[in-house]
Amino acid sequence: MAILEIKNLNAGYGNVQVLWDVNLKIEEGKIVALLGANGAGKTTLLNTITGALKPTSGEIWFKEERIDKLSSGKIIERGISYLLEGGRLFPDMTIKENLEMGAYHRKFWSKRKPDIERMYKLFPILEQRKKQLAKTMSGGERQMLAMGRALMSNPELCLFDELSYGLSPKMAQAVFNTVKQLRDEGITIFLVEQNVHQTLEIADYAFVIENGYIVKEGEGSSMLEDDYIRQAYLGI
């Protein structure tokens, strides 16, 4: 069953159109990847899903409810969480305070204490350093904190934008392992990445976007063997 469905979506900024008749489905309980070069339209698509950018035409459906006319706040209430590229943490707040900000919406605030404990179990390093300022953490630790904050609203669908950006190979692998763990716990993941090889290794399904068009899709494992993907994105 599709938890998110996008139908004939067009969007852009002012007179500049970025997305062209985008159609895709994200199946519930899966890791779905969106691959593409810089400027291909990946982040624009995420911004449109979350209501930060309104489409010029087309439809977005979440759990069989049309959401493209809703505000970002209402979309978050429905069960979608968005982790922007770079995490966008509050550097002068502690780890615990940053996690609490993930539950700032009144719907989630009353449940923040058990949810923080849940994040500490998922990311033990955060509990060990809960009084530490976010700006003093390493890149990998900051990404874990950003993921934890995004999960504080108990989302059914997480949108992750460039999780591995700037991370060492070892830390990137740890982050991807966490993504698999979240999928195994029943959270649906829409993963936007330029780390193509590692992404396709964990993705159940993947789409490729180029110049605002979806040009290819298929199971993650099969995409790793696709000649076009190997030449264009893996340099093989």
Kindly indicate the confidence band of residue 199, based on its pLDDT and cuts at 50, 70 and 90.
Answer: very high
CA-based nearest residue to 136, from 86, 190, 94, 184? 94
CA–CA separation, 217 vs 206, rounded Å? 6
Domain 1-79+155-236 has what CATH class? alpha beta
Contacts of 213 (CB under 8 A, 6+ apart): 20, 21, 22
pLDDT score recorded for residue 106: 55
Please answer whether residues 151 and 102 qualify as being in contact, where contact means their C-beta atoms are separated by less than 8 angstroms.
Answer: yes
What is the enclosing helix (H) or strand (E) of 19?
strand 16-27
| Amino acid at site 176 | F
Residue in 217, 199, 197, 198 with CA at minimum distance from that of residue 189 = 199
- Average pLDDT of the chain is 91
pLDDT digits (tens, 9 = 90+) for 71-122: 998 998 899 999 887 667 888 999 999 998 877 665 666 677 888 888 999 8
**Using alpha carbons only, how large is the chain's radius of gyration in Å?**
17
List of residues 6+ apart from 153 with CB closer than 8 A: 76, 79, 81, 102, 103, 105, 107, 108
User: Which burial class, exposed, middle or buried, applies to 158 when counting CB atoms under 10 A from its CB (0-12, 13-18, 19+)?
Assistant: buried
Residue 7's pLDDT is what?
98
Task: Tell me what percent of the residues of the chain surpass a pLDDT of 90.
Answer: 62
Residues of the chain with CATH 3.40.50.300: 1-79+155-236
11-21: pLDDT as tens digits: 999 999 999 99
Backbone angles phi, psi at 51, to 5 degrees: 90, 0
Using CA atoms in the order 221, 196, 7, 61, what is the torsion angle rounded to 10 degrees?
90
